[in-house]
Structure 1
Amino acid sequence: MTEIELKFLLDEERAKSLRRNLKALPLNETGVSSRTLRGIYYDTPDHALKQAGIALRVRREGRRWVQTVKAGGTITGGLMRTREVECAAPGGRLDLSLIPDAALQAEIGAVVDGAELGVVCETQMKRRASTLTLESGARVELAIDVGEILAGEVAAPFQEAELELKAGEIDALYDLTAKLFPEGGLHLSTLPKSARGYMLAETGKAQAEIAPRTARKVRLDPAMTSEIAARDVLRECFEQISANVDAVLDSTAAEGPHQLRVGLRRLRSAFGVFKPIVGHSELVRLSDEAKAIGAEVGALRDLDVVIEDLIDPAEEEHPSEPGFRALRAAIDSRRSGVRGDLRATLGGARVQAFQIDLARFIETRGWLAAEDFDQTARLAMPVRAHADRALAKRWKSVRRHARGIDHLTIDGRHELRKELKKLRYTIEFLGPLYPEKKVALFVKRLKMLQTVFGDLNDLAMAEHMLCQPDSPAARNPAAQRAVGWLLGSRAVRSEAAWSHAKELWRGLKRTGPFWG
């Protein structure tokens, strides 16, 4: 059978909140059962099963032992989907011949290939579980596990909540999540316990360090339907956003806000690219919410850029100028306040609701509209045909905004920069459908142009931030002297950069599209 779950990491505060919220919900709840579970995971010395995506476990549940095989696991939109096969394990002894699925038994036999199976890790959990029936009739098992993961002599404490769909639609898991964590702050668990056990055995830690996540290429194939391509691209956007929400909450590193803003922008670009395929009022609402959240993230990101990309290099060049130190201190103070406000937003109910609704939209095909009789044909359209149209549309918009580039105003340059960025994201999404060398040449020249426009935008942003009456250090003469020097030197460089930008644009036009 296929097991479908949402899992959440808990700490003491979240665990108490979860139990409190559960008691307050008008749900038809079975009695709470309490069991001690001991799971023992086996593999070959070279971890061949893990490499094949298979977890092999014997678990004691009360007085009985159960042998379980989990295979083909995927995680999308927070959902863990795993093929699970169970059988009795008399005396707690591992016996591959008891696996009831003949094909899976043969697959495991081929992977193991006669190698000796040994214990990799164990889990010892106290589980409290109950089955909840929602208004829709869906049944979901809520299990709260508290215990530890062990690998040899190393142990790591662990708390987790699991929502497993027993009957009904996937919507029920997202509905219940919103009800159980109404105050926000949920932390998706994106690794099964077996993977945490392997990690503990290999690294001494059962949880990977939270780190900023860059965008990853989506594997698209020309034979895909446009709907499947849209789903996979949106899934990648969701993963980048969710990972970087955690990164900003966990660290002060500038890369977290940067990658979160990129993720939100890529999501909005993906919505634009695939709107003809998965257009829906919910898509518009989610795009608007991503824009609003992105504006708050951008406030922190802009401060990071001014400090790390403008002030710090200038101070390094002129260490004897005290104004840079004063200016940096004033902006850093403002940055601390903005970061605190952003963390409150990201850890609150609003952003959590956005993440849940985005995942729901992607994983439940939230774009389906019964009254749209032409939708089926659009969803089934080969993605390559849609890609040609989407790229041509973006390119046409770029060319329109670049018209008269020699005489563009500051606002006009800014609009062209945004259109170039949208084109770049569209190519990142759809580029795998085209010859790699042609895409690479176009992207190389596009990146060079974007770099120049990015520098110009940073200067405009810094001018706005540093020249207002309420700007940081506005009343500090030394800091204001540093502002004047900084903006003056950057302005000289920007004029030279602008001349180069015009040359790069003409070069990009000569390269021409790789699509169509």
Structure 2
Amino acid sequence: MKPIAPIRQPISAALLLAIPTSDPAKLVRQLARTPPLQRRKPTYQVLDAVYHDTPEQRLHQQHITWRTQRVDGDEPVQWRQFLHVEKRENATLRRYEEWTSPIRSSTPEMGVLQSSTGSRIDPDGTAFRTLAPCFSTRTERTSWSIHQRDGSLIDVVLNVGHLSAGGQTVPVFELELVLLAGHPAALFEVAQKISRTLAVLPTPTSSAERGLALARGTLDAPLKALPVALKKDVSLAFAAGCMLNEMLGQFIANLYALCTSEDPEVVHQARVGWRRFKSAVRLFRPALLVESLPSWEPLEPLLGFLGTLRDLDVALTETLPRLNEAYTAGDIGREETWAAMTQAMQQAAHLQRKSVRYALQAPEVGTVLLETLRWIEGLLVTTEAEEPLGKKLVALRPWARHRVGRLHKQLTAAAKDIGDLESQHRIRILAKRMRYSTESLQTFLPKMRAERWHQQAACLQATLGFTRDTIRASALAAEVGTDPRLVEFLRGAAAGQQTRDATQKNGKI
């Protein structure tokens, strides 16, 4: 029997939304009551899927997903395979092509794909011969189709279930908006309407990527800054959009990991992502049209909780361990006092982490993040050789040298007066901005100069950071009811460190 030719789906754009919840029972009802989906009849399926890759994850490295899938309850059992090829580019939306064909079992079949894209991704068949199951999913899928007046057609797909790999199982709560016809702006419009009543987070990570991370043992690991590949002749607006998209993605990915992770580094990287993003907005602001940039005021409660949680984590894992022996000195009474303080601060950190997770349940958080992502999309839709309307074309390399050089001069001048806390705080902020700027624009800066400036800023930030952290630790110790004598010791340690900073660093950078 001749194999049935695979069906090629046209290139689609999709917007992925993670749902920060631990209660799946209400999700379908909550989503059905959102304005875009009211009075629309959904379809339901229960899907079993197996995702395949080579031991070296060659498909994943090429941004390819190969899954086999069946609909639970179908008689006879009907398996299909899906070859999903993502077009990796600097964009806020995911764009991909997909081929699908019926198969006999859950094992992939190369023959039916050979005439389409199979020969292109695996010309000699070596990858196919080593394919093996990596992870599996079982999800309840609820889908709605939205036909809008402007002619756009969007599928809203809710997947609720679990991922399984290596004997581990984790829940899946994922909402995907797929554009079948129309302009990508329609995806943001529908997503923002949903987000006003249901807490969601735009996420750069798909279920397939989460499954591979689970198989590798890296699920919910802290996401650090990633390099952004740019041509050297791109426009300033396009470069800004690419960098801001990566930075916001770092912030959001770590926020979502915080829903389940207890790792202090996840908190740290979430705050790093947000600081990098705000620093880059400030860096690029003079050259961009920012009138449409949304207000971030709804994020302030979440950011405040994150800041306090990070302060507690730093105190417990970095600052206080350095000072433990200096205070206790083998005295049993002091050791008991120190242990009581540590226990009280651990409890405070536990409660603060709960506050962060509660803040993520606020719908306005997802709404603001979607609005910000849509603003970034506006920067990216400019071609690589043009700027937004009303802005002159700016050469990126000289612009980067000028902007970062100006920032270095500001930091050098500020470092000449390091004596008081206010000056130290300003210098730390400038040092962070200097670090983030040299990291993001290093491709466009003289290599030796960028490395020197980055090292100087990092050293200055670290030196002043310990003083600030000790002051903050003493304040937190007082807040949790620590013995006043121990609080005074911490304050004295901070004062001594501040004096050393002023003596050693004045005028040096």
TM-score category, normalised to shorter length: 0.7 to 0.9
Matches within 5 A, 1:12-51: 13-14=23-24, 16-23=26-33, 25=35, 27=37, 31-35=41-45, 37=47, 39=49, 48-51=58-61
Matches within 5 A, 1:89-488: 89=102, 99=113, 104-110=117-123, 112-113=125-126, 116=129, 118=131, 120=133, 125-134=139-148, 137-146=151-160, 158=172, 160-186=174-200, 190-192=204-206, 194-195=208-209, 202=215, 208-283=218-293, 285-286=295-296, 293-317=302-326, 318=328, 319-320=330-331, 321=334, 322-365=336-379, 375-376=388-389, 378=391, 380-403=393-416, 405=417, 408-462=419-473, 471-473=479-481, 479-488=483-492
More displaced 10-residue stretch of structure 1: 439-448 or 139-148? 139-148
Q: CA distance change for structure 1 residues 391 and 332 in 2, over 3 Å: closer, same or farther?
A: same
1:368-407 Cα shifts (integer Å, max 9, x gaps):
8xxxx9834747433212212221331233244345x27x
Q: Hey, what does 1:511 align to over in structure 2? A: none
Q: Residue type matched to 2:313 in 1?
A: D
In the alignment, is the contact (CA less than 8 A) between 1:29 and 1:130 conserved in 2? no
Q: CA distance change for structure 1 residues 495 and 163 in 2, over 3 Å: closer, same or farther?
A: same
Q: Hey, what does 2:97 align to over in structure 1? A: 83
- What SS is found at the alignment partner of 1:143? strand
Q: What CA distance in whole angstroms lies between the structure 1 residues aligned with 2:305 and 2:168? A: 42
Deviation of 1:451 after TM superposition, in Å, equals: 1.6
Deviation of 1:145 after TM superposition, in Å, equals: 3.7
Q: Residue type matched to 1:313 in 2?
A: R
Q: What CA distance in whole angstroms lies between the structure 2 residues aligned with 1:209 and 1:272? A: 32
Q: CA distance change for structure 1 residues 228 and 123 in 2, over 3 Å: closer, same or farther?
A: same
Q: What CA distance in whole angstroms lies between the structure 2 residues aligned with 1:129 and 1:491? A: 61
Q: CA distance change for structure 1 residues 460 and 154 in 2, over 3 Å: closer, same or farther?
A: closer
Q: What CA distance in whole angstroms lies between the structure 2 residues aligned with 1:28 and 1:184? A: 14
- 1:7 has 2:20 as partner: no
Q: What CA distance in whole angstroms lies between the structure 1 residues aligned with 2:258 and 2:439? A: 24
1:129-163 Cα shifts (integer Å, max 9, x gaps):
22013465532112234566677999877554322
Q: CA distance change for structure 1 residues 379 and 52 in 2, over 3 Å: closer, same or farther?
A: farther
Paired residues, number: 485
- What SS is found at the alignment partner of 1:281? coil
Q: What CA distance in whole angstroms lies between the structure 1 residues aligned with 2:125 and 2:319? A: 56
Deviation of 1:480 after TM superposition, in Å, equals: 0.9
Q: Hey, what does 1:513 align to over in structure 2? A: none
Q: Any gaps of 5 or more consecutive residues in structure 1?
A: 509-516
Q: Residue type matched to 1:327 in 2?
A: M
In the alignment, is the contact (CA less than 8 A) between 2:69 and 2:80 conserved in 1? yes
Q: CA distance change for structure 1 residues 390 and 30 in 2, over 3 Å: closer, same or farther?
A: same
- What SS is found at the alignment partner of 2:379? coil
Q: What CA distance in whole angstroms lies between the structure 1 residues aligned with 2:387 and 2:31? A: 43
Deviation of 1:299 after TM superposition, in Å, equals: 2.4
In the alignment, is the contact (CA less than 8 A) between 2:192 and 2:371 conserved in 1? no
Q: CA distance change for structure 1 residues 283 and 105 in 2, over 3 Å: closer, same or farther?
A: same
| Richer in helix (by share) | 1
Q: Hey, what does 2:496 align to over in structure 1? A: 492
Q: Residue type matched to 2:12 in 1?
A: E
- What SS is found at the alignment partner of 1:375? coil
Q: CA distance change for structure 1 residues 136 and 460 in 2, over 3 Å: closer, same or farther?
A: farther
- What SS is found at the alignment partner of 1:340? helix
Q: RMSD across aligned C-alpha pairs, in angstroms?
A: 3.9
1:10-32 Cα shifts (integer Å, max 9, x gaps):
67734523433324536586643
Q: CA distance change for structure 1 residues 293 and 386 in 2, over 3 Å: closer, same or farther?
A: farther
Q: CA distance change for structure 1 residues 51 and 438 in 2, over 3 Å: closer, same or farther?
A: same
Deviation of 1:49 after TM superposition, in Å, equals: 3.4
Q: Residue type matched to 2:319 in 1?
A: L
- What SS is found at the alignment partner of 2:123? helix
Q: Hey, what does 1:512 align to over in structure 2? A: none
Q: CA distance change for structure 1 residues 335 and 19 in 2, over 3 Å: closer, same or farther?
A: same
Q: Residue type matched to 2:374 in 1?
A: R
In the alignment, is the contact (CA less than 8 A) between 1:455 and 1:494 conserved in 2? no
Q: What CA distance in whole angstroms lies between the structure 2 residues aligned with 1:147 and 1:341? A: 26
- What SS is found at the alignment partner of 1:285? coil
Q: What CA distance in whole angstroms lies between the structure 1 residues aligned with 2:359 and 2:171? A: 29
More displaced 10-residue stretch of structure 1: 386-395 or 167-176? 167-176
In the alignment, is the contact (CA less than 8 A) between 1:40 and 1:59 conserved in 2? yes
- What SS is found at the alignment partner of 1:21? helix
1:182-208 Cα shifts (integer Å, max 9, x gaps):
4554355655455556566x55x7xx5
Q: Any gaps of 5 or more consecutive residues in structure 2?
A: 1-9
In the alignment, is the contact (CA less than 8 A) between 1:21 and 1:181 conserved in 2? no
Q: What CA distance in whole angstroms lies between the structure 2 residues aligned with 1:416 and 1:233? A: 24
Q: Residue type matched to 2:494 in 1?
A: R
The percentage of aligned residue pairs carrying the same residue is 22
Q: CA distance change for structure 1 residues 167 and 380 in 2, over 3 Å: closer, same or farther?
A: farther
Q: Residue type matched to 1:163 in 2?
A: L
More displaced 10-residue stretch of structure 1: 187-196 or 343-352? 187-196
- What SS is found at the alignment partner of 1:451? helix
Q: CA distance change for structure 1 residues 114 and 452 in 2, over 3 Å: closer, same or farther?
A: closer
Q: Hey, what does 2:7 align to over in structure 1? A: none
**Alignment TM-score, normalising by the size of structure 2:** 0.79
In the alignment, is the contact (CA less than 8 A) between 2:401 and 2:445 conserved in 1? no
Q: What CA distance in whole angstroms lies between the structure 1 residues aligned with 2:164 and 2:343? A: 46
In the alignment, is the contact (CA less than 8 A) between 2:202 and 2:369 conserved in 1? no
**Alignment TM-score, normalising by the size of structure 1:** 0.79
Q: Residue type matched to 1:433 in 2?
A: F
Q: Residue type matched to 2:501 in 1?
A: A
